[in-house]
Structure 1
Amino acid sequence: MSQSPGPLSPLENQQSDADVLVLGAGIIGVSVALHLQKRGKSVVLIDRRAPGEETSYGNAGLIERASVIPYGFPREIATLLKYATNRSADVRFHWTFLPKVLPWLARFWLESSSRRLRRAAADMLPLIERSVTEHTALMSEAGVPHRARRTGWVEAYRSEKAFAAAKQAARALDAFGIRYDLLGPQELSAREPHLTGHFAGAVHWLDPATVADPGGLVADYAALFTRRGGTIVRGDAAGLEAQAGRWSLLADGRRITAGEAVVALGPWSDTIYKPLGYRIPLAVKRGYHVHIEPAGDAVLNHPVVDVERGYLLAPMTRGIRLTTGIEFAARDDAASPVQVDQTEPHARAIFPLGRRVEQTPWMGARPCLPDMRPIIGPAPRHKGLWFAFGHNHHGLTLGPATGRLLAEMMTGETPFADPAPYAMSRFG
């Protein structure tokens, strides 16, 4: 992040200019690039990998219109004890990492009080409300409206007690106009005939859309960006520099400069903001998935969460995707897919599954902030630098809405939502 880059190498003499550099080609970065492009900006999208190949590849494929209440820190003593002893597939932590993440967890716990959780829900609602409609618009423009399946998803409960609590929680969302069906065992069986587990009931959330190939959807959006004249280059965003009032990066054999830059690097955003002196409590929640072939002619019609066993099964292009809960570990530590091994036997007990499509589970990292809101807006001390990261479990859900909001801010339009709750200044 040097202010005095020194002499240029021969490669750096090959220079090109743009209005905006967008760092990160996941769903957030690609959406930001598209919305800026719509507003007449020349944009270069930069990533070390192809669009959609990092965090955006490995999610559950949910565009989660129903998640109007953020995922808060649990308050139940029994749940906390289960998590504290690493006995749950929902949450697992590395003991050596625990001292490092405890301050973040403490703040997360404070932010999850009922009063603060209600405030977070109100702040996030404008983005959640736009999630499906903004995706629908981009899918139409990209020529892939078939990507969205409007079938919703299902939370299944094994015990009557857990199902009763789920029904109460669902009814608490009636004020938000969220649509859902409460399913008894026979109704659940009618919607998922090949589900073989013994469930007391389920909540079928009807408003969310689902995607059978999240990484492919991001690639489709990136292809739309290039068809409209955008440029995508491979490069390491950590090389971003400030040069004579502009932002500069050596990528793909040339130095690219722009008046503005957007950091949309998800869990790697710290490679930019830390050297610039920003203190942001960004944590990483790792997660895993593996694809498994359905056995025989078995069909899964919706993503299904086995709530009490802590995993999700989603019908994907490559097979049935088994996704795990949260792992607290250093972002770059070696993979430890214990949760996949914990949950796969339970998954096989409720749905006919064959062989694994890939033997090595995929691992990804979710960028999370303790107040359950992303950072969307300007970097306070660096002109022309903008942030768009920290979307917790909802990067895919909120990508296009975030892209629109940030592009409106950057081009002087009236934002469709108040951006104040997402400002970096809340962290000092």
Structure 2
Amino acid sequence: MAFEGLTEKLSATFKKLRGKGRLSEADVKASMKEIRMALLEADVNYKVVKDFIARVTERCVGSEVLESLTPAQMIVKIVNLELTALMGGESAKLTISSKPPTVVMLVGLNGAGKTTNGAKLAGYMKRQNGKRPLLVACDTFRPAAITQLEVVGKQVDVPVFQMGQNDPVDIAKAGIEHAKKHGNDLVLIDTAGRLHVDEELMQQLKTMKAAIEPTEILLIVDAMIGQDAVNAAKAFDEALDLTGVMLTKLDGDARGGAALSIRAVTGKPIKFVGMGEKLDNIEVFHPDRMASRILGMGDMLSLIEKAERNFDAKKAAELEQKLRKNKFTLADFYDQLVQIKGMGSLSDIAGMLPGVNAKALEGASVDEKALTRTEAIILSMTPAERENPSLLNSGRKKRIAAGSGTQVVDVNRLLKQFELMQQMSKQFSGGRMKRRMGKMGRMPGGFPF
């Protein structure tokens, strides 16, 4: 969970402040010292921390705070505003060219995840923005880079243009022409990287930039390398004049210092963040929402958006009607489990809820093996059995267990969970069914956690 350590330390600092009715200037300075140490331990750039603390202290020792009836809340508000400003203030969108195609150069060091995150970005722009992206394989330096791009491109249903080991600049230009002829309005160029910043790499990228004149140059950088991520961003920016940054593996860095430092050091916005290994684990970076998460205040807007992406509105409406009429089936039961699984780990969801300790749920998630067993059992039933489980006698249960590679006890356990769900749905029938049942898919006793 990103910023886990920082969130804990800031929460402890603010808790001390809330215990005091009035604050003195000394109280504020003591708190600022603790916040300064928390930021440094989170691997935030030293100069960034120094400037941040100076700005916050200046605002916090003013009469507005010290004479306030709730000075602790005022300090939290000021820290929240300054954190938001530190990370850019507002979310920065991908620039779309007025004359298609929009060309995005993806640059970065080896290991940052350029290829995978290029596919993530292509899939995101296709799903959320209705774009017709094309991935262009220009990494002829790393073995199997082209094959990897083709694999991930297929997984997100985005075409890949490649010309083998030819000159990368020629491939990029040919890829853009291919996009124009085939109606692709977004071209993502996967460039070569190195284990470190070197002159050969930068010269190749400069030559490509001059040849294709990209709309965007996005740096893909690994959040887990901390201040090295900031140094890499600075080097690439000086050579190429970046338009933005995509920070990967943010879910794996409990410190998160790179996210707080990159904008301040380079002046370039973080536009996207990778929050997991799956190809749909990509989010637009919202500085205000991230600041809210860091301060333990949750991020309800992102949670709602995540739910909307994963829950089918049409299915939710149909489920509501079935629950009203007490006609909930095993097929419906499985659909809800699949949609809940798409929401991700419980700790990620908890991190978006105000006041919830995400650390307590670290690693908790929907058990995919249990979900696979559930799917196999339900799909081994006949349509009539799914609609009416009362038909399942011992002989049918043995057949289903054999067909799904499970035991009869697993079939009975699933039926028991389903029975509990049906009992609950009866309580909500007759006009008292809560709409949240359909939208949030709550099923006590029914999740394979």
TM-score, scaled relative to structure 1: 0.23
Which structure: larger Rg?
A: 2
More strand, by proportion: 1
Identify the structure with bigger relative contact order (alpha carbons < 8 Å, sequence gap 6+).
Answer: 1
More helix, by proportion: 2
